[in-house]
Each structure stands twice: as C-alpha cells, then as structure tokens.
Amino acid sequence: MSLVGLALLILGWWISFITIHATRHRWIVQTILSWAFILIIAFRFIPNSVVTRLVEAVWVPVVQEPLPHPKIHPLWLGLALHYRSRPRFRFRL
C-alpha cells in the first residue's frame, strides 16, 4: 500500500468515524490523530521550499517589517498594557 493510499484510508476512516452517531462524542481525539497522520504523510511529498516560502510570506510582513505608520505602535502597546493591568475578576461579598 502506498502512502497516498494510506492517507486516503485514514481520511475515509475519519469521515466515517465522525458521521456515526455512536462514536461522535470522541471526535476531537480522532480528528487530531487522523489529521496528524495525514499531515505527516503529506509532508513527505511536499518539498521543503514550498513550506519555507509560505512561512516567509507570512513572517516578513507581519513580524520582520515594522508597521507602516509610526503612531500605531504606541496605540497597540497602550491597549496591551491597559488590558493586562485590569483585574480579571472581582469577587464581592
């Protein structure tokens, strides 16, 4: 059995598992396991350059380059500090 056939078998097992009413309560664990195995099999076929180009396309504009307007930085920093310093819960007796 090839890896593509194994991935299709896992996908078919996952679809049948989440549609059967008797086993529907365990869908989170089965989804995580089946998609983990499918991604492991898929990444054996996907070249590394494809993944690194996608990561670079997200990383460079979001993390590496500064924001386009300099006044946005203090605004976001102020909001982050404001919401971090607020008390989460107040218990009143």
* Full pLDDT tens readout for the chain, 93 residues: 688 898 899 999 888 888 888 877 888 888 899 999 998 888 888 888 888 898 888 888 777 765 565 555 666 666 666 666 555 666 666
Domains in the chain, number: 2
Residues with Cβ within 8 Å of residue 43, at least 6 apart in sequence? 51
> Residue 3 to residues 13, 43, 44: CA-CA distances in angstroms?
15, 11, 9
- Alpha-carbon distance 93 to 87, whole Å? 17
Q: 59 and 38 share a domain?
A: no
Q: 58 and 25 share a domain?
A: no
Q: 4 and 41 share a domain?
A: yes
Domain of 62, in residue numbers: 49-88
